Amino acid sequence: MRIIYLISFLLFPLLSCAQTTNKSISVVSSYTVDQNSSWTSRTLQQQKFQPFKQNSKVNIGYNKDAAVWCRFIVKNLSASQSAKTWLCFNNNHIDSLSLYDGRLIKTIGDRTISQSPFIETLAFELNLQPGEERLLWVRVKKETSYLDFSYSLEDQAYLEGKSSQKTALTSFFIGMVFLLLMINGILFFMTKDRLYVYYIGYSILTAFYTAITTNFAKHVLFPEFRFFSECRVFTGALWYIALSIFLGHFLKLKENQPIKHKLIIVLGGINFLLILISISLLVFYKDFEFRYFFVLGYIIFLASIVVLFWAALTHLKIEKTQAIYALLAFAPQFVWGACLILKTFEIIPKSLGDNWMLFISLYEVFLFGYVLSRNYIDIFLKNNELMQQVIFEKESSLRAISEVQLRERRNIANIIHDNVGSKIAHIIHLFDMKNAGLAKQTINELAEDIREISHKILPKALDEGALISSLQSQISSLNAGLTDAKIELFCYDFPDKIDEKWIYDLYLIALEVINNAIKHGNAELITIELYKYPKNYHFQFTDDGLGFDLQKTSKGFGLENIEKRVNYYKGNFEISSVKNEGTIIQINIPSNR
């Protein structure tokens, strides 16, 4: 919103500059319409003229061959001082504007290489001696378009001030547009999101249309170019097609409102086809009647505005924030476009001027530039937050691995200290007692204990892929030491030997699950089932223990560690438990063969 306030602040001088006129000059004016553009200055005296007041508009509607002749009788009311003023015409897009001042002829306009001294208006300089009265003729010509204009006498200082402000502001806004284009171009290369491409295309056309509409292109950039009238019409149509496509993707109409999306594409396609046909006809058939093309183009333009406005309102129920942005951008354009069309068909007497078009189009570009940049920043911050979470998860995994290693080392240390250490001390004592026979017997027992400890930590058979025999051996040892619980192992099409890297982890997972079921679940029966399917291995661990409520109880360190091990092998881990009814753990790991 700060950007919008800045634009309003910068445009305020442009819209509020005070107008001054030279009161020492009087003017009597009238006009007549030459329907076939066949009159000369000699035949004008025979024509009937209608009154034409300053700042009142002459509107001849759609024009093909007509020209408007204006007669001005200008007089300096001062008898002692000379007077200088500018005869100004407020339509910058007149093809040619010819001033006949006696034998002197001056011509300016879109179809001429000459230009007005001021970007704000088409103006002719008038210098009057004290008490001088002069008859002036002005011929206004605009081919194949709607023609309206008004005139006024203006002071040079006022025109220079208005033109300087308009030039500066238009330059500033076009520069800012291209800055936003550069930023969004960088964002596109970073994100590969096509929405930025649509924004760039729409913004470029906005800059061109603004430059032509405000007369900046003719006055500053390409003063000798002669076809700005046509460029204004075609660029405006392309600009609106680009805006429709951009808004359609901005609101994700293809996914959320497919019918409106197709309708917008069809309307845009018809408009583009009209542009191609019109250009072809202008090149090969200059006398073609373009009235119906203009009418059809305006109808499609109005239909597109209505559909887009309707789509934005509907989108409020889908994604409120994006819809509000679209409505904020589109509402001023909706008013301007409606006024333009109603004025064209003479339903209302006056439409919003070109300055409003400058404000609206650049307001939209700035607004969407701000929205897209902010969306990227939000996405960047979210991605950064996700990266922090990933880093945290990795650190947690490392801590978990370290804790597992520390716990296993403690278990080994306790076994060695309690069993191996005590027996070694006993053997040394026996040698001191010179009881070699008993010492030899104790050494044999110690060797058996070491083999058993080694087998418990990680059976040698696992190196050969014998997961089933390793588990059976460990389960037999565990069942021998259990009094109130029993462990069962079932295999279904599971190979005796498998060549998979995860068998060591699965062996340790099975021991972890058994330990949890006995220690924490007080289970009486623990069932382990191993399945082999064509594309995956399936493992199910079931116990009839105490169970727990998954919604209220966290998985705990052991289960989280199991899940991380399974995820490492791109497997799937699921657990279901009901309080006082036991727990079921299911693991699926894809097969590499």
135 with 191, same domain?
Answer: no
In angstroms, the CA 280 to CA 90 distance is 30
313 with 266, same domain?
Answer: yes
Domain boundary among 121, 154, 187: 154
- Tell me if 5 is assigned to some domain: no
Domain boundary among 385, 404, 430: 385
198 with 135, same domain?
Answer: no
Q: What is the average pLDDT score of the chain? A: 79
- Tell me if 447 is assigned to some domain: no
In angstroms, the CA 326 to CA 320 distance is 10
In degrees rounded to 5, what are phi and psi of residue 582? 105, -175
- Tell me if 432 is assigned to some domain: no
Question: Nearest-CA neighbor of 56 among 155, 159, 151?
Answer: 151
- Tell me if 328 is assigned to some domain: yes
pTM of the model: 0.58
pLDDT at 106: 92
373 with 501, same domain?
Answer: no
Give tens-digit pLDDT for 341-398.
666 666 666 666 555 666 666 677 777 777 777 766 666 677 777 777 767 766 665 5
What CATH number corresponds to the domain at position 352? 1.20.1070
List of residues 6+ apart from 258 with CB closer than 8 A: none
371 with 473, same domain?
Answer: no
121 with 234, same domain?
Answer: no
- Tell me if 437 is assigned to some domain: no
Higher pLDDT, 96 or 301: 96
- Tell me if 404 is assigned to some domain: no
- Overall average pLDDT of the 425-444 stretch: 72
List of residues 6+ apart from 12 with CB closer than 8 A: none
Residue type, 590: P
Domain boundary among 341, 365, 385: 385
pLDDT at 18: 43
- Tell me if 3 is assigned to some domain: no
Neighbours of 538 (CB within 10 A): 17
Residue with tokens 């995860």: 502
202 with 131, same domain?
Answer: no
Residue type, 584: I
- Tell me if 278 is assigned to some domain: yes
With H, G, I as helix, E, B as strand and everything else as coil, classify residue 30: strand
pLDDT at 99: 93
Give tens-digit pLDDT for 198-231.
888 888 888 888 888 888 888 888 887 877 877 8
pLDDT at 137: 92
In angstroms, the CA 138 to CA 97 distance is 7
pLDDT band at 454 (very low <50, low <70, confident <90, very high): low
In angstroms, the CA 547 to CA 278 distance is 78
480 with 370, same domain?
Answer: no
Question: Nearest-CA neighbor of 474 among 463, 458, 485?
Answer: 458
What CATH number corresponds to the domain at position 534? 3.30.565.10
Higher pLDDT, 446 or 19: 446
Which range marks the domain in which residue 254 is found? 170-385
106 with 201, same domain?
Answer: no
514 with 369, same domain?
Answer: no
134 with 270, same domain?
Answer: no
In angstroms, the CA 121 to CA 324 distance is 37
CA distances from 158 to 16, 49, 68 (A): 12, 31, 27
Overall domain count for the chain: 3
The pLDDT of residue 15 is above 50: no
Q: Is the dihedral of CA 209, 215, 218, 221 positive or negative?
A: negative
471 with 359, same domain?
Answer: no
What CATH number corresponds to the domain at position 121? 2.60.40.2380
Give tens-digit pLDDT for 231-266.
887 887 888 888 888 888 888 888 888 898 899 899
